[in-house]
Structure 1
Amino acid sequence: MQTDTGSEWEAVFVDPIGQVVQQRWADAVLAVAFEELEPVSAFPVVPGRRWGPGQWWSATTGRHVACGSAPMRAQLMVLDRDPEVVGLAGRPVRLLWRDARGQVRSWVPQLFARHRDGTALLADCPSHPEAGGERAQRAATVLEAACAQAGWNYRRLEPLEKTLSANLKWLAGYRHPRNAGRPRLAAAVREVFAQPRPLIEGAEAVGDPIEVLPAVFHALWHGHLTTPLNVPLHERVLVRSGVGEGRRSSTSTGSLASSSASADEHLATDGAGDAASRTDGRHRGGGW
């Protein structure tokens, strides 16, 4: 390993058969499918916090992703809706390097996302810009350089604006395929919103809202339908069919705003939600 400005960083990860491997970073980025690996180290449990480590069920991969905080879950929601993201993992790799004094340093980014073009994002999800202090800032500089060498990106993702976070949490409860509805229902939902119209009006035009609304929310999550997510969702919000097919990136709605994401709810093991029990509930970010 060379110093933090050198090129010989090393990667530590747990391979698919459970063995800990240490490998040159330049080799690992070419050969290792980090999106398929388990965490190289567990997310910490902090006594007294209302949040603890859990699992996020990804609509992108159909698998669970290890998650350690409310801000990280919010960023997983954003990436899980991004059509360019094809793989997600929590803490799959540790980067090792030597600092200017020759001491070995390490950092485990919280989040890994694989893009459709084969590139990747390593990210941390701090609760506020100064989280982690000077050590986190120094590590960010090293990670940026290491990722740039690989043609990847490293980012410290800013917490979501509260309304966007609440809207995404609501729609995420319907991300599972079980909420898509019958094929004819899914097609009817898209057709009824071919022109913009209020959400409840379109749902009632298709049929019983108890059956139709889960399909509408599922389509909104996956981008088959669109509506502004920077204002609270409510029954009169205007909805229209999506311009393209597939999931839509939430970044177009200002997902990297500066306000903190809500941390009021603990991660469920599945996290995919139960549409039948949610349809009559009230949306914390709007009028449901």
Structure 2
Amino acid sequence: MMHVSGKGAAAAAGGRSRQTRADAGSGWEAVFVDPLGQVVQQRWADAALAVAFEELEPVSAFPVVPGQRWGPGRWWSATTGRHVACGSAAMRAQLMVLDRDPEVVGLAGRPVRLLWRDGSGKVYSWVPQLFARYSDGTALLADCPSRPEAGGERARRAVPVLEAACAQAGYRYRRLEPLQKVEAANLKWLAGYRHPRNQGRPGLAAAVREAFARPRPLIEGTEAVGDPIEVLPAVFHALWHGHLTAPVDVPLNAHVLVSHGTGGADGRRDRTGGPDSEGRQ
């Protein structure tokens, strides 16, 4: 459950303050939509400590850009069992990476807008695309550009401000680099099997893990368990969740070496580096 303290709690009780500018000298401000659907603005330092951003809806909608092949959608998260608002194919790829990371416990799309003033008093704002919460309580605010220059000068100027604001809160801010094509294709395929129903019948998941107790080609271990039509979904499900491991930087095929995992996602990026919108569930 989201908790708002201090300024946010007072605003919740007495009708929200709808300021359009951050108070001079108060530093960064956070704007978000609370669980009741009301807009709240409070000091960033307070909000970062008290607000569960991973549980919030977007503070503003992802834009629809005419002519683009991929528009806003929603990603079903195996981590949370809920949908996450998603604005681009590049963001969906980063959601796949984070959704596989066993240290990630919460995800949200555009849950907070940051406001700040420059030296002349002019007010600026930025809405990071992605929020990820980790099991140790720290968090990542990130943007997911499809190319380095995406966002232009405004994005470039926002980076040091967002880095400083996140450092104050014990968070990190990153512009995540796009995935390589092979890695993105492999994760997209495995994501289609992330839903629990792909574990198969009782006992199948354990049999799959046992079959790959030593490294062996994917198809060899699969056939050792039974009919590939039944077993392969369970193998891909185990690969998604890290119960089995295989390299994600080479094309996934019948002869790729698969081995017993350690419960973590193979090939995952560190937290600062980083199918269709629903996935094949």
**Same-fold call, TM cutoff 0.5:** yes
Output the amino acid matched with 1:84: E
Tell me, yes or no, if the aligned pair for 1:203 and 1:213 is still in contact at 8 Å.
yes
Tell me, yes or no, if the aligned pair for 1:11 and 1:95 is still in contact at 8 Å.
yes
Q: 1:216 aligns with which of 219, 226, 235?
A: 235
Q: Secondary structure at the match of 1:191?
A: helix
**1:124 equivalent in structure 2:** 143
Q: Distance in 1 between matches of 2:194 and 2:172?
A: 27
Could you say if the C-alpha distance between residues 245 and 183 of structure 1 is closer, same or farther in structure 2, counting changes exceeding 3 Å? farther
Q: State yes or no: 1:57 paired with 2:76.
A: yes
Q: Distance in 1 between matches of 2:137 and 2:131?
A: 12
Q: State yes or no: 1:151 paired with 2:176.
A: no
Higher RCO structure (Cα 8 Å, ≥6 apart): 1
1:89 positional shift: 0.0
Output the amino acid matched with 1:152: Y
Q: Distance in 2 between matches of 1:132 and 1:42?
A: 17
- CA deviations 1:44-88 (Å, max 9, x no partner) are 000111110000000000000000001000000000001110000
Q: Secondary structure at the match of 1:137?
A: helix
**1:136 equivalent in structure 2:** 155
Q: Distance in 1 between matches of 2:246 and 2:23?
A: 49
Q: Distance in 2 between matches of 1:54 and 1:175?
A: 18
Tell me, yes or no, if the aligned pair for 2:248 and 2:267 is still in contact at 8 Å.
no
1:101 positional shift: 1.8
Q: Secondary structure at the match of 1:12?
A: strand
**2:268 equivalent in structure 1:** 250
Output the amino acid matched with 1:245: G
Q: State yes or no: 1:202 paired with 2:221.
A: yes
Tell me, yes or no, if the aligned pair for 2:245 and 2:265 is still in contact at 8 Å.
no
Tell me, yes or no, if the aligned pair for 2:31 and 2:42 is still in contact at 8 Å.
yes
**1:103 equivalent in structure 2:** 122
Tell me, yes or no, if the aligned pair for 2:204 and 2:234 is still in contact at 8 Å.
yes
Q: Secondary structure at the match of 1:183?
A: coil
Q: Cα RMSD between the aligned structures?
A: 1.6
Count matched residues.
258
1:183 positional shift: 2.9
1:247 positional shift: 4.0
Q: State yes or no: 1:40 paired with 2:52.
A: no
Output the amino acid matched with 1:91: R
**2:15 equivalent in structure 1:** none
Structure 2: 5+ residue runs without aligned partners?
1-21
Q: Distance in 2 between matches of 1:220 and 1:168?
A: 10
Which runs of structure 2 are paired with 1:15-30 in the superposition (5 Å)?
15-30=34-49
My pick for the range that moved more, 176-185 or 159-168, is: 176-185
Where do 4+ consecutive residues of structure 1 move more than 3 Å? Answer: 246-249
**1:232 equivalent in structure 2:** 251
1:251 positional shift: 1.4
1:245 positional shift: 2.0
Scaled by the length of structure 2, the TM-score of the pair is 0.88
Tell me, yes or no, if the aligned pair for 1:81 and 1:249 is still in contact at 8 Å.
no
Tell me, yes or no, if the aligned pair for 2:247 and 2:266 is still in contact at 8 Å.
no
Q: Distance in 1 between matches of 2:60 and 2:265?
A: 30
Structure 1: 5+ residue runs without aligned partners?
257-264, 275-288
**1:181 equivalent in structure 2:** 200
